[in-house]
């Protein structure tokens, strides 16, 4: 495949990723800071699912014809969804807080368990 074809596909797949990502992002409610965990999980699951369906749908177009292997498409698709970025960041923060709390709880129980033997 020629470099010219790679450039053409890179530009087209990037533009497609931007438009498709913006469309998915616009279909869902805007991210609201402090929303409940259940709503956050639901909105994230729906947006990730819609993004996955879009990627699967695009596979036939981008599959073997794309010398960039979908990297530019995927990057553009994700960057065009700021609400998804906020949702994933919020979930990551919640998960980090939970893990930290569990580690601290386990650490506080460890000395008590070792002294009882």
CA distance 7 to 44: 33
For the segment 88-98, what is each residue's pLDDT rounded down to a tens digit?
Answer: 999 999 999 88
Q: For the whole prediction, is pTM greater than 0.85?
A: no
Burial class (CB within 10 angstroms; exposed 0-12, middle 13-18, buried 19+) of 86:
middle
For the segment 20-78, what is each residue's pLDDT rounded down to a tens digit?
Answer: 999 999 999 999 999 999 999 999 999 999 999 999 988 877 777 778 888 999 999 99
Residues in CB range of 22: below 8 A, 6 or more apart: 80, 81
DSSP class of residue 56? H
């Amino acid at each position: 495949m020629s470099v010219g074809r790679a450039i053409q596909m890179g530009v087209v797949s990037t533009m497609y990723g931007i438009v498709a990502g913006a469309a998915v992002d616009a279909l869902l409610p805007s991210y609201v800071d402090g929303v409940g965990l259940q709503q956050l999980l639901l909105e994230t699951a729906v947006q990730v699912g819609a993004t996955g369906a879009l990627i699967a749908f695009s596979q036939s177009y981008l599959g073997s014809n794309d010398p960039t292997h979908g990297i530019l498409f995927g990057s553009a698709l994700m960057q065009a969804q700021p609400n998804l970025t906020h949702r994933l960041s919020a979930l990551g923060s919640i998960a980090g807080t939970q893990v930290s709390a569990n580690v601290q709880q386990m650490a506080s129980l460890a000395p008590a368990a070792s002294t009882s033997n």
